[in-house]
């Protein structure tokens, strides 16, 4: 003590003395009389303080004793006692004991607590008395919370707790304010002592390390709080009382009301007989306190058990209030200690058993405050102590939260509180995953997580009512689960769902929890357990219908051995959930030897150690339904009796005694709970019936009475399969017993998303349905927005976990709000007015745009929505104005789409039309502010959908999703037989789908092979069946061309396949093709110019050749077709694959009249270009056969009906033949050319002149003249190669014959009259010069003198042609004069 504290002590003592002097008892004492001892002690203390020089040496008991004597005294009034208590409070708060010897401080704290808890004073008035009692509470709190409070003993702390409780629970003796102060003080005291749990644990560890005995709860304290019983003072039993002394009206002291006595096992209250406290007994008591240890776990366990005992259902009116008070104190204790409770098993045992049991019972009473507090405590327990309460939380959730949340028999408010609690649990990051991993994945536990989700989903559906808070709370709980999954999904790197298989063989590990290991290994094993549990559930379903089939199924998947054993079957019956208890009972009672072994093995799985006979038989009988036959019942009870006797020795002398008693209990149960039994058995009759059953001895009567009362009071209720009506006491005892084993440990799951995929798979369906129904029913804007957020959360999580089915379900659910509209007057107007439909539309397209990779079957619904918007004229122009779509009809004939022109109106125009709709009278459009606002709103909604991005960004979709999108577009387009839709609406639908299909195909050029098959088949189905021109057919044709234009130049590897598809054009109906020809060839020209080198295969060349042959005869298409031909001839490499198709195309344009004679002549020039390229080919065996094909084209053109074309063809043929002589063909080949080409062509032309076909072939004589001259020149050019041929004679003779024919026509044609003699003369001169034509020239085989024949024919042609002319031209017959012959030839006309 320092000087400041000494001054405080002087002031406090003066205050107490002053209060005493104000009391009439001490004020009337004469000054000369002997002073009261209480005065003397204060005077002595005052002198000591004022005369003391070393205050620090003053013992605490010296300056505390006067104040404590005042508190103990029964003679002091309330004001005096209150002043003394205030002084003690000041001394404690000023830390007067700090710094003193620990032993002295401990003694002083004990004296303070002892004095205050046994305080007595004279009553004055109720208000003043309550002030004193409030000061007592104040001092007691200071004793606990001051620095020296930790020195209090277990007894002292228990006395403080009891005193605080008693002050607030005196019937009729305290006001509500004092009661509340008492509760608050008790709460503060409780908080203070339970905050020291870790300190106490550290001290215990230190003492254990030093060799001392740690503080435990094995020994009961000398003073402990008693269990609460009825009410008021009796609740504390032998607790300590604090109350004022009451005087009667006559002024004499009334008999003291005994409201408290000595603590159980403790000393009598000090000061009760006087003020002295220095008796030997008290000195000994104080000495014991000084040697005792500070309060520890023993005290905490007793206090917590006392608080737990308050949480019980009583019949009295104040029982609920007591329960609520006890719950509040427990919550304070738990909040103070938090996870430190787990440091002491003694505290955890109280929580596991008494606390959880009492909470589960009182939660079902119709008291909202109690239920709310129970739920908050349960949440607190889970947050900090969940690892030790696995089975307790299973029971709490199943039998409390789910029962009340279901709302079957409770009030709406109770249901609401339970749902709020479930929502709070759901929001906890690990609660639901802990339930799933530890319970749903365990073979022997119920599917609690699944039950919670099913309940929440069911509760979101309003049944014949409007949307209420319970529906919203249920949805909130579901979405809270999703939010936690979503938060954990941020760590999801890759989703690879494991593929589990049935076990290779049956082992005991199937039915047992996995051994302890690291979390990842444990989690994987639990996931496999969940797989096995699902398989077991299938087996259970078979078993309930037919046990034999159930066993066979389980054997087939190795969950039971191939040869059934009694142990394996018993394990299945004991462990598997959902078994029909009737079937189990029948099997256990079966008299067959195998099932007798199963019965023994089954009962051996129960652990009856430490259980009373009542609890044991209840636990046993509640696991199945007893069969009806007495013999079966006897066998079942006999097996139980043997097991109980073996595990609980000392209760029965033999197993037979246990058997007899069990049968007797069963009969008693029937007697007491059968309504048909009118006269019930009494306890005396029950005892009499069970005399001498214990090997000739009686069982303890107390035991029999307890059994009778238990059976008579609580029926053995066997819950039906899946029924969660309540947990029996026997079941709870079993839960508590299991909790002490590793089975009771809950493995808390971390934030790793190990189980998230399985959990999501289980709940996404009900959750989407729940969100949809709330969205449909909600009217409040915030609720609607909440549901939309829910849709998006589910979609995001589904995409992370790659659950395509969930995304599809979401899309389909949202589309139902759009596609099921049933407006009365105007569809568009109804759609616009439906704000939920618009929100659903925006949400759906948001999901599709963000998570399109996961959309599969949902694409059909998406396309349906797009089509509906299009039908309502609300589809944004961005969708139909995409480049790929727009260019498909770049040159399209507007007539095809004239009837759809009205569809091109904008959104705002549509909205204006809707809002201005009237009965038919046209009105001048006047926009009101409301109309303008509506237009803006609708435009904003539609634009925010970004519908066009579905197709423009489709190149980023996964392959499977993209394929489904294309399939949906094709499916939505519908069937159009003969390319014509049944109605305008169907046609619009097919057109839009085709547009989008083409756009999607073009955008995905890098994945062409993925889409092309479906796209091509769709285009083919339209084009093949087209009998008449329609917008759909036109769009299909030009869409095909547009795809080729965009992809052929870009993708070399797909060019051939795309170009092959152009063969569809050839399948167009002739009338349709004729109408589209001009536009079609224009697009083809654009395609060919962009990629002339992509046409490489023979099939593609044949396709283009066939198309060009058609175009060559079309007036409008011919110019573009000829340009295509020029591109091919000039730009392509001519080879064996494309030569014939090109020649066929060239010939078509030569013959074609659509382009006029000029085009035909240009086509012949292209033929010359082709021949030039062929001439450059390397020499090969096939070269002549390819070259002759080109020659034949020219030959064919020489017979054209048009003079200019025909003449030009003959000239071209001459040029081709003369220029090709250097190609190195053999003489035989040139002979073939001479016979088959030259002679044949000239003969045809000359014969035409002779037959006088001038009308059919005008100016044929001119053509014949050109041909004769061509004949002469070609013959002379080929002569060196022809002269040595065997057929040369034939060639010469045929040539002379042709000239004879030409000569015969000379009378009608001056052209031929001049040309034929000259041509023959030149040939004769050259042949003579080369030594071919000579007098001895004969053909021995044919016996022909060719010399004579030649001159004979020559004279018939012209009289001037005689052998003598050879000399005239300087040519000798048989050789020589070659130069002259050549000169003669060159002078001939052409």
Which residues are catalytically annotated? 629
Using CB atoms within 10 Å of the CB of residue 441, give its burial: 0 to 12 exposed, 13 to 18 middle, 19+ buried: buried
Contact present, 66 and 36 (Cβ < 8 Å):
no
Residues 6+ away with beta carbon under 8 Å from 780: none
Q: Residue 1164 is encoded by which pair of tokens? A: 């012949």
What is the rounded CA–CA span in Å between residue 958 and residue 980? Answer: 34
Torsion of Cα atoms, 19 then 20 then 22 then 25, to 10°? 160
Residue 1149 near residue 1110, CB atoms below 8 Å: no
Asked if 314 and 269 touch (Cβ cutoff 8 Å), the reply is no
How far is residue 504's CA from residue 557's CA, in Å, rounded to a whole number?
8
Structure tokens at 928: 């009101």
Q: Are 421 and 385 in contact (CB under 8 A)?
A: no
Residues contacting residue 582 through CB under 8 Å, at least 6 positions apart:
624, 625
The C-alpha atoms of residue 1297 and residue 1290 are separated, in whole angstroms, by 10
CA distance 136 to 159: 13
CA distance 688 to 860: 80
CA distance 452 to 435: 10
* DSSP 8-class letter at 1221: G
Q: Are 931 and 982 in contact (CB under 8 A)?
A: no
DSSP assignment letter at 351:
I
Residues linked to residue 697 through DSSP beta bridges, in sequence order: 694
> Whole-angstrom Cα distance, residue 917 to residue 830?
12
Q: Computed over its alpha carbons, how large is the radius of gyration of the chain?
A: 57
Q: How far apart are CA 517 and CA 1350, in angstroms?
A: 117
694: three-class secondary structure by DSSP: strand
Contacts by 1102-1107, CB closer than 8 A, 24 or more apart = 1102/1141, 1103/1059, 1103/1060, 1103/1062, 1103/1063, 1103/1066, 1104/1059, 1104/1062, 1104/1128, 1104/1141, 1104/1145, 1105/1140, 1105/1141, 1105/1142, 1105/1144, 1105/1145, 1106/1066, 1107/1062, 1107/1065, 1107/1066
- Reported in sequence order, the residue ranges of 972-1122 that DSSP labels E, i.e. its strands, are none
Q: For residue 1142, give both structure tokens.
A: 């090109």
Return the DSSP state at 558.
T
Cα distance between residue 468 and residue 780, in whole Å: 12
Cα-flanking dihedrals φ and ψ of residue 525, to 5°? -65, -40
The answer to whether the CB of 430 falls within 8 A of the CB of 737 is no
Contact 1190, 1170 (CB under 8 A): yes
Sign (positive or negative) of CA dihedral 689, 691, 694, 700: positive
Q: Are strands 1338-1339 and 120-122 parallel, antiparallel or unpaired?
A: unpaired
The DSSP call for residue 195 is T
| Residue pointed to by tokens 């066939």 | 1106
> Residue 593 and residue 39: Cα distance in Å, rounded?
92
């Amino acid at each position: 003590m320092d000087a400041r504290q000494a001054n405080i002590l002087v002031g406090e003592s003066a205050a107490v003395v002053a209060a005493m002097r104000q009391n009439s008892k001490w004020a009337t004492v004469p000054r000369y009389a002997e002073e009261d001892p209480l005065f003397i002690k204060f005077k002595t203390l005052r002198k000591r303080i004022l005369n003391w020089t070393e205050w620090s040496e003053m013992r605490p008991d010296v300056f505390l004793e006067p104040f404590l004597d005042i508190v103990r005294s029964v003679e002091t009034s309330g004001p005096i006692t209150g002043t003394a208590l205030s002084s003690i409070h000041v001394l404690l708060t000023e830390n007067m004991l700090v710094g003193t010897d620990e032993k002295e401080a401990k003694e002083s704290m004990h004296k303070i607590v002892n004095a205050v808890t046994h305080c007595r004073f004279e009553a004055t008035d109720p208000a003043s008395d309550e002030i004193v009692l409030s000061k007592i509470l104040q001092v007691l709190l200071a004793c606990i919370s001051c620095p020296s409070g930790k020195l209090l003993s277990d007894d002292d702390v228990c006395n403080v707790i009891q005193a605080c409780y008693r002050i607030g629970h005196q019937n009729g003796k305290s006001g509500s304010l004092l009661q509340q102060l008492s509760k608050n003080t008790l709460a503060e005291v409780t908080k203070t002592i339970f905050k020291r749990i870790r300190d106490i644990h550290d001290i215990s560890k230190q003492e254990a390390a030093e060799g001392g005995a740690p503080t435990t709860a094995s020994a009961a304290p000398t003073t402990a709080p008693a269990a609460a019983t009825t009410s008021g003072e009796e609740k504390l039993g032998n607790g300590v009382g604090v109350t004022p002394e009451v005087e009667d009206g006559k002024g004499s002291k009334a008999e003291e009301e005994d409201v408290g006595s000595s603590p159980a096992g403790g000393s009598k209250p000090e000061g009760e007989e006087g003020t002295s406290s220095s008796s030997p007994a008290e000195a000994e008591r104080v000495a014991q306190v000084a040697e005792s240890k500070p309060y520890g776990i023993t005290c905490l366990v007793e206090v917590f058990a006392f608080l737990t005992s308050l949480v019980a259902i009583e019949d009295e009116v104040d029982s609920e209030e007591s329960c609520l008070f006890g719950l509040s104190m427990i919550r304070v204790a738990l909040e103070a200690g938090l996870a430190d409770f787990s440091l002491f098993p003694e505290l955890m045992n109280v929580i596991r058993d008494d606390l959880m049991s009492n909470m589960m019972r009182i939660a079902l009473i119709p008291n909202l405050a109690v239920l709310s507090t129970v739920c908050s405590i349960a949440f607190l327990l889970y947050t900090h102590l969940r690892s030790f309460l696995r089975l307790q939380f299973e029971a709490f959730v199943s039998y409390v939260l789910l029962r009340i949340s279901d709302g079957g028999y409770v009030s709406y408010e109770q249901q609401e509180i339970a749902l709020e609690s479930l929502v709070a649990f759901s929001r906890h990051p690990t609660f639901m995953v802990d339930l799933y991993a530890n319970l749903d994945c365990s073979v022997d536990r119920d599917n609690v997580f699944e039950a919670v989700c099913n309940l929440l989903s069911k509760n979101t559906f309003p049944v014949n009512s409007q949307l209420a808070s319970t529906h919203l709370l249920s949805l909130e709980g579901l979405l809270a689960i999703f939010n936690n999954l979503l938060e954990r999904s941020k760590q999801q790197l890759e989703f690879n769902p494991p593929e589990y298989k049935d076990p290779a063989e049956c082992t005991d590990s199937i039915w047992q929890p996995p051994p302890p290991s690291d979390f990842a290994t444990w989690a994987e094993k639990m996931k496999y357990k969940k797989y096995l549990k699902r398989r077991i559930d299938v087996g259970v379903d078979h078993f309930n219908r037919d046990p034999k089939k159930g066993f066979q199924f389980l054997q087939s998947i190795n969950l039971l051995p191939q040869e059934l054993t009694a142990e394996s079957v018993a394990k299945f019956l004991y462990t598997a959930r959902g078994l029909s208890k009737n079937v189990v009972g029948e099997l256990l009672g079966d008299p067959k030897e195998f099932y007798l072994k199963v019965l023994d093995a089954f009962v051996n799985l129960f652990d009856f150690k430490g259980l009373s006979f009542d609890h044991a038989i209840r636990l046993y009988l509640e696991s199945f339904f007893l069969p009806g036959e007495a013999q079966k019942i006897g066998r079942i009870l006999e097996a139980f009796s043997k097991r109980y006797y073996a595990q609980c020795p000392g209760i029965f002398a033999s197993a037979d005694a246990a058997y007899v008693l069990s049968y007797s209990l069963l009969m008693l149960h029937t007697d007491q709970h059968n309504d048909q039994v009118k006269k019930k058995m009494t306890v005396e009759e029950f005892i009499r019936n069970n005399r001498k059953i214990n090997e000739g001895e009686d069982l303890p009567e107390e035991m029999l009475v307890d059994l009778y009362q238990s059976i008579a009071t609580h029926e053995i209720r066997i819950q039906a399969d899946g029924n969660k009506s309540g947990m029996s006491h026997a079941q709870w005892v079993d839960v508590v017993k299991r909790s002490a084993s590793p089975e009771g440990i809950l493995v808390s799951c971390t934030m790793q998303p190990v189980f998230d995929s399985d959990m999501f798979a289980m709940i996404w369906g009900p959750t989407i349905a729940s969100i949809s129904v709330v969205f449909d029913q909600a009217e409040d804007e915030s609720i609607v927005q909440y549901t939309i957020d829910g849709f998006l959360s589910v979609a995001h999580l589904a995409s992370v976990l790659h659950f395509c089915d969930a995304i599809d379900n979401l899309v389909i659910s949202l589309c139902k709000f759009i596609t099921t509209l049933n407006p009365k007057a105007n569809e568009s107007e109804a759609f616009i007015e439906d704000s939920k439909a618009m929100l659903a539309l925006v949400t759906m397209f948001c999901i599709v745009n963000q998570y399109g990779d996961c959309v599969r079957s949902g694409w059909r619904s998406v396309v349906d929505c797009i089509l509906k918007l299009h039908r309502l004229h609300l589809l944004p122009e961005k969708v139909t104005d995409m480049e790929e779509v727009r260019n498909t009809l770049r040159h399209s004939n507007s007539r095809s789409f004239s009837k759809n022109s009205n569809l091109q109106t904008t959104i705002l125009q549509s909205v204006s039309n809707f809002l201005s709709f009237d009965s038919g009278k046209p009105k001048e459009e006047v926009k009101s502010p409301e109309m303008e606002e509506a237009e803006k709103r609708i435009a904003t909604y539609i634009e925010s959908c970004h519908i066009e991005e579905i197709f423009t960004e489709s190149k980023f979709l996964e392959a499977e999703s993209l394929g489904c999108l294309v399939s949906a577009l094709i499916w939505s387009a519908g069937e159009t037989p003969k390319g014509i839709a049944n109605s305008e609406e169907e046609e619009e639908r097919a057109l839009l789908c085709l547009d989008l299909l083409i756009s999607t195909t073009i955008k995905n050029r890098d994945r062409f092979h993925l889409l092309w098959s479906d796209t091509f088949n769709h285009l083919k189905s339209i084009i093949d069946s087209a009998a008449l021109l329609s917008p759909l057919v036109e769009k299909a044709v030009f869409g095909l061309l547009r795809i080729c234009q965009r992809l052929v130049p870009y993708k070399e590897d797909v060019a051939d396949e795309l170009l092959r598809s152009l063969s569809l054009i050839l399948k167009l109906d002739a009338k349709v093709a004729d109408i589209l020809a001009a536009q079609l060839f224009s697009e083809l020209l654009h395609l060919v110019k962009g990629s002339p080198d992509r046409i490489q295969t023979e099939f593609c060349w044949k396709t283009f050749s066939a198309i060009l042959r058609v175009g060559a005869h079309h007036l409008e298409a011919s110019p573009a077709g000829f340009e295509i031909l020029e591109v091919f001839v000039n730009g392509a490499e001519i080879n064996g694959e494309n030569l014939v198709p090109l020649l066929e195309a060239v010939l078509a344009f030569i013959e074609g009249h659509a382009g006029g004679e000029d085009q035909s002549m240009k086509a012949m020039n292209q033929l010359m270009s082709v021949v030039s390229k062929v001439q450059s080919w390397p020499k090969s065996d096939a070269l002549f056969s390819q070259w002759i094909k080109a020659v034949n084209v020219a030959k064919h053109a020489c017979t054209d009906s048009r003079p200019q074309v025909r003449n030009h063809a003959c000239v071209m043929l001459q040029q081709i033949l003369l220029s090709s002589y250097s190609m190195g063909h053999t003489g035989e080949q040139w002979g073939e050319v001479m016979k088959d080409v030259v002679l044949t062509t000239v003969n045809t032309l000359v014969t035409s002149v002779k037959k006088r076909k001038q009308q059919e072939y005008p100016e044929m004589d001119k053509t014949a003249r050109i041909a004769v001259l061509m004949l002469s020149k070609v013959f002379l050019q080929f002569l060196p190669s022809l002269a040595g041929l065997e057929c040369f004679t034939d060639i010469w003779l045929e040539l002379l014959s042709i000239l004879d024919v030409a000569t015969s026509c000379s009378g009608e044609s001056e052209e031929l009259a001049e040309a034929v003699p000259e041509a023959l003369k030149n040939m004769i001169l050259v042949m003579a010069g080369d030594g071919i034509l000579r007098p001895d020239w004969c053909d021995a085989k044919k016996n022909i003198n060719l010399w004579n024949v030649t001159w004979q024919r020559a004279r018939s042609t012209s009289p001037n042609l005689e052998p003598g002319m050879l000399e005239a031209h300087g040519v000798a017959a048989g050789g020589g004069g070659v130069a002259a012959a050549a000169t003669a030839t060159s002078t001939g006309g052409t």
